[in-house]
């Protein structure tokens, strides 16, 4: 089992490895660039080499890169769609340069369009991205969402459609966000619902598809469709349910990564301590 935190890339990107190691992480997640801007600078080979060296030195077993929020593969707006595909291809290459295993992505919004068209656009984009990066080992992980507005991914039937129509689907996986699942309507406070949800995901994708779990409590209510993360055990999902999830046999090979609030310098250490205490 791999446990970790989403850490900052401020100053030099390789310093993020030290931040993760300082928290006792065996996994980590980063943005490779500002998540709310289009690419400004590329990561240099020297910085990437140092990132890989420090990762090996600290024994970080899993690295996930989270795709920026601006890019949208479900959009009906042509210029944004083309720019988003190009950005994803660049991000896949950058993740590979860092030695990351995964690029985690939201599935985009079909605003001003329809769900079928949004799914069709997303599938076409992923096919192009995977074709253009066919020599890379980086897997693309599709994250579930809380279900607000026109965002894809609140139901795992969206994942089923995508896995069924992407040619190189062996390079796809799932990132399960616990807060998003709860907010989308899955009452994961109940063990039987967790069991059913994990089986449901594997039936619609494939066995072992869940490679990363964004391990978050929720500030907002079950089926609220509002995406607000909370500290572990302090939200409306609660410690007992989260403990059941982190010890679930279906998720034994997954990396659990915290995306909990960071309002104080001690917040990550506090949540990491709570996560580790839950592991049987």
Please name every residue paired with 109 in a beta bridge, in sequence order, or none if there are none.
151
Does the annotation list 158 as a binding residue?
no
**In whole angstroms, what is the distance from residue 86 CA to residue 77 CA?**
15
Phi, psi of 217, deg, nearest 5: -85, 170
Does the annotation list 106 as a binding residue?
yes
Does the annotation list 180 as a binding residue?
yes
Residue 61's closest CA among 255, 212, 257?
255
DSSP state, residue 68: P
Q: Are 29 and 64 in contact (CB under 8 A)?
A: yes
Does the annotation list 159 as a binding residue?
no
Does the annotation list 135 as a binding residue?
no
- What torsion do the CA atoms of 19, 21, 22, 27 make, to the nearest 10 degrees? 80
**Alpha carbon distances (Å) from 93 to 170, 209, 216, 226:** 18, 22, 28, 32
Does the annotation list 6 as a binding residue?
no
Does the annotation list 227 as a binding residue?
yes
Q: Are 176 and 144 in contact (CB under 8 A)?
A: yes
Binding residues: 66, 106, 143, 177, 180, 214, 227, 229, 259
Binding residues for Zn(2+): 66, 106, 143, 177, 180, 214, 227, 229, 259
């Amino acid at each position: 089992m791999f446990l970790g935190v989403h850490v900052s890339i401020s100053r030099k990107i390789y310093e993020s490895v030290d931040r993760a190691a300082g928290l006792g992480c065996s996994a980590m997640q980063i943005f490779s660039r500002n998540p709310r801007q289009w690419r400004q600078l590329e990561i240099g080979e020297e910085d990437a080499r140092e990132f890989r060296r420090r990762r090996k030195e600290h024994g970080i077993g899993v690295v996930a890169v989270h795709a920026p929020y601006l890019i949208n593969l479900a959009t009906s707006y042509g210029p944004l769609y083309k720019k988003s595909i190009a950005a994803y291809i660049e991000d896949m290459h950058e993740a590979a340069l860092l030695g990351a295993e995964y690029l985690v992505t939201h599935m985009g919004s079909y605003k001003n369009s329809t769900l079928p068209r949004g799914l069709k656009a997303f599938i076409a984009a992923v096919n192009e991205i995977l074709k253009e990066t066919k020599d890379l080992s980086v897997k693309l992980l599709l994250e579930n969402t809380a279900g607000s507005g026109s965002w894809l991914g609140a139901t795992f039937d969206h994942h089923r459609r995508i896995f069924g129509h992407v040619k190189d689907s062996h390079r796809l996986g799932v990132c399960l966000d616990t807060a998003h699942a709860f907010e989308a309507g899955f009452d994961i406070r109940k063990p039987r619902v967790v069991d059913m949800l994990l089986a449901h995901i594997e039936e619609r994708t494939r066995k072992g598809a869940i490679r990363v779990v964004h391990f978050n409590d929720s500030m907002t209510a079950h089926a609220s469709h509002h995406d607000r993360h909370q500290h572990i055990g302090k939200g409306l999902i609660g410690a007992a349910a989260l403990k059941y999830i982190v010890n679930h046999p279906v998720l034994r090979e997954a990396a659990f990564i915290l995306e909990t609030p960071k309002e104080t310098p001690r917040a990550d250490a506090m949540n990491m301590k709570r996560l580790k205490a839950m592991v049987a």
